[in-house]
Each structure stands twice: as C-alpha cells, then as structure tokens.
C-alpha cells in the first residue's frame, strides 16, 4: 500500500508538471505535493495504524483527517492528484470500523468523480462516472469481507487460547488429584500397614507380658524390626516414593521377604515362583509389590485366615500375582461375610483396600480380579502384560470403601 501511494503520488506530480501547470501556482502546488508526501511518511512513523481488530488511536485518526484534508486541497488545485485517493481509501478501510470507513470511501469516491468531471473536455465519458465507484465498491467489499474474516479468525484464536488455558488448568487439577491419590495409596501401603502391624504385635505382647515374657519380648523385637522397615519406607517415600524392598532386590526376592515378614502372629504366608523371572519395568514391579502388601494386610486384618500363599507366575507375555487365603471369604457382589470383621478402633478410618489395588493394577496396564466365596477363602489375582502398554489414567480421588477379603 505504501509503494502504491508513492508510485501514484510520483505519477500525479509528473502528470501535473507535464500537462496541468500554467496558472502561476506551480511552485506552491509542488510544495503541497511535498507536504502531502512528508505528512504521509511522518504518519507512518508517529501515528502508525492499530493492529487488526484494535480501535484506532486518536493520533492515527488525527493523521488520517490531516492527510485527507491536504489531499482534498491538492485535488482542487491539481486534479492530477485524483488517484492518490486509492492509498487513502485502503488506509481508511484498513484502520476504521466498517460503519465509518464506508461513508469515508463514498466521500472520497464522490470527490474523485467530481474532479474528473471538472477537467473533462467535450462529451462526458461514462467511464469517468462509473469506473471510480465500481473500483471503490469492489475494494470496499473485498476489504470489509477480509475484515470480517479476520475478526472471526481472531475470535476463534481467542477461543482456542482460552480453551487451551482452561485445558491446562484442568490438567493441572487432574494431576494434583492423581498425585493425591497416588500419595494416599503409598501411605496406605507403607506407613499405615507398618503402624497396624506394630499395634497388633504390641497388643499381643501386652496380653502375654506376665504369663509368657519371652514371647512378649519376641513380639516387641518384631515390632522394632517393623519400625525400622517403616522408617526406611518413610525415608524412601520422601526421597522418590519407590518401595524400599525393591532397593537392590528383584521382585521375587522382595515378595519372598514380604512373605517371611508377614508370617507370624496370624496367618502363615508362603511364596511360590512359577516360570523364569526376567526384566520388568519398575512401575510394574512397584505396583505388584504394593498390591501384595495391600492384599496381605486385608488377609491379616479381616480374613481370619490361617494360611496365605503368594504366587508369582512368569510367562512369555505377562506376569501374574495371586494372593490366596483360607479365611472366611466374602461375597464379591456385596453380600456380607459370614462373620463380621473386627470393628476399627475409635478414630480409625477404613483403608483403601481393593479399590486402591485395582487402581494400581490399571495404572500399571494390568487387571485385577477377586474370587471369593463365603467360608471358602479368597483369591486376589493381578495380571500385567510384559509388552509395553500405555497405563490407564488414574481415577480422581474419591472416598473409597474398603472391601474385606
């Protein structure tokens, strides 16, 4: 647009000097051409056009009015400046709202037609009357259409930016909720279980303190060992939330150690390994170990079992973990067990239990099933594929009801 202005202004000056001068005001008109050129250049530097969609500034409107006034004066003195109206037309359409730009274009077009009629000789050429309005109408229609398209595009972009901002905020909230769920599961499977075991051992020691002091001291030693492991879990929990039992050990070794620790007052726990162990992602190892810990905690607290078996089965494309007990069992569909589980102590809430295990299995890309019959024990099975799969998104944390196993 700027190049068109300078080209048309130069050609208008050349036409004036070669054809229209002769009334003795040539120097003044040439000076007016120079003022027109200088005003246009200064306007681009001192009063630039607003960005698309923004309101024009008062300085820009003042510049547009001043350059239009100079052009009108120049048009009266030198009709050769007629076609300098085109850059002004585009400048007005580009910066002004359509409701203002269209009347401005109509005024400029009328002035162009009047100037052409004033200098015409002989019969009126219809092109002088038809061509300027036609060109102005086409230019106006095109630019107004482009303005509307640009406005719609800006609206869509604003909506997209706002949607992305809302999505980012939603993802942050979902991440916070998922992290809270993960932390609650970690605390449930580590610190809460350690404290529960310590409480049971100390209660057992208190019951036999006078009658069987050796047994009581053994319970206290076991509680002290559990305290040491709980402290190690807490430190690892603070460090990187990885199970301490997996630090330097394989999953079968960690499960075997877990079975040994859980054998004591209450059920006897055994560990079996089927298949040849191989490499396993850390996420799957941690999930399987935590599920085993949670399942054994349920067996110890609710099942009234005498024996439990951890079975780790390694096949070509998946690894499965089964936790079976010979306890009271329950109805997986919601029917109550034959004998109610011991009531929690005052102030003690229910744990996460089976829902947390399902979440862990799903996050590791696997599935968890529960088979149980009242009076015939329970089997908790989790299967994790060994091929890489995308883990399922975590469920939002909600109050979870533990199901006795």
- Domains along the chain with CATH numbers: 2-124 (no CATH), 167-342+350-385 (3.30.565.10)
Position 399 pLDDT exceeds 50: no
Q: What is the pLDDT of residues 94-104, one digit of tens each?
A: 677 777 778 87
Top mean pLDDT of 48-62, 107-121, 153-167 is at 153-167
pLDDT of residue 358: 87
pLDDT of residue 348: 39
- CA 142, distance to chain mean position in Å, is 39
Place of tokens 């109509």: 106
Average pLDDT of the chain, as a whole number: 78
Percent of the chain with pLDDT over 70: 81
Cβ contact 116:127 at 8 Å? no
For residues 276 and 88, the model is more confident at: 276
Q: Span 364-376, mean pLDDT?
A: 89
Position 231 pLDDT exceeds 90: no
Of 1-5, 68-72, 194-198, 346-350, the least confident? 346-350
Position 382 pLDDT exceeds 90: yes
Position 208 pLDDT exceeds 50: yes
Report pTM: 0.42
Q: Which of 129, 229, 184 is CA-nearest to residue 350?
A: 184
Helix 353-363 × helix 126-187 angle, to 10°: 130
Strands lying side by side in the sheet with 378-385: 268-274, 307-314, 318-325, 378-385, 367-372
pLDDT of residue 386: 81
Please state, as a whole number, how many other Cβ atoms lie within 10 Å of the Cβ of residue 79: 21
Euclidean distance between CA atoms 165 and 250, whole angstroms: 43
Q: What is the pLDDT of residues 7-20, one digit of tens each?
A: 888 888 888 888 76
pLDDT of residue 398: 43
Question: What residues form DSSP beta bridges with 324?
Answer: 309, 379
pLDDT of residue 94: 66
Helix 193-207 × helix 282-298 angle, to 10°: 30
Give CA separation, 207 vs 161, 217, 221, 348, in Å: 67, 12, 15, 21
Position 28 pLDDT exceeds 50: yes
């Amino acid at each position: 647009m700027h190049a068109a202005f300078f080209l048309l202004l130069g050609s208008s000056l050349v036409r004036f000097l070669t054809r229209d001068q002769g009334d003795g005001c040539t120097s003044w008109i040439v000076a007016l051409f120079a003022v027109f050129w200088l005003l246009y250049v200064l306007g681009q530097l001192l009063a630039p056009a607003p960005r698309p969609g923004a309101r024009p500034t008062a300085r820009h409107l003042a510049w547009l009015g001043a350059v239009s006034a100079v052009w009108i004066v120049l048009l009266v003195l030198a009709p050769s400046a007629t076609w300098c109206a085109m850059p002004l037309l585009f400048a007005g359409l580009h910066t002004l709202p359509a409701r203002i730009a269209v009347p401005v274009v109509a005024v400029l077009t009328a002035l162009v037609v009047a100037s052409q009629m004033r200098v015409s000789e002989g019969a009126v050429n219809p092109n002088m009357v038809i061509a300027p309005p036609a060109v102005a109408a086409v230019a106006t229609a095109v630019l107004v259409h482009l303005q509307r398209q640009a406005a719609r595009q800006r609206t869509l972009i604003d909506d997209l930016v706002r949607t992305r901002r809302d999505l980012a905020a939603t993802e942050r909230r979902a991440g916070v909720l998922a992290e809270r769920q993960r932390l609650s599961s970690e605390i449930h499977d580590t610190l809460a279980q350690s404290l529960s075991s310590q409480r049971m051992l100390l209660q057992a020691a208190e019951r036999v303190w006078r009658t069987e002091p050796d047994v009581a001291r053994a319970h206290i030693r076991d509680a002290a060992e559990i305290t040491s492991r709980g402290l190690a879990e807490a430190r690892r929990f603070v460090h990187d939330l990885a199970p301490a039992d997996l630090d330097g050990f394989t999953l079968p070794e960690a499960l075997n150690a877990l079975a040994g620790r859980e054998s004591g007052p209450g059920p006897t726990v055994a560990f079996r390994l089927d298949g040849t162990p191989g490499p396993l992602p850390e996420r799957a190892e941690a999930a399987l170990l935590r599920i085993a810990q949670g399942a054994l905690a349920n067996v110890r607290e609710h099942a009234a079992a005498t024996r439990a078996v951890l079975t780790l089965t390694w096949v070509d494309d998946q690894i499965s973990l089964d936790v079976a007990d010979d306890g009271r069992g329950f109805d997986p569909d919601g029917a109550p067990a034959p004998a109610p589980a011991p009531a929690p102590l005052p102030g003690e809430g229910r744990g996460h239990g089976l829902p947390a295990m399902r979440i862990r299995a799903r996050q590791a890309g696997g599935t968890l099933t529960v088979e149980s019959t009242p009076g015939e024990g329970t089997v908790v099975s989790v299967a994790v594929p060994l091929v890489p799969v995308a883990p399922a998104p975590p469920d939002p944390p909600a109050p979870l009801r533990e199901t006795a196993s």
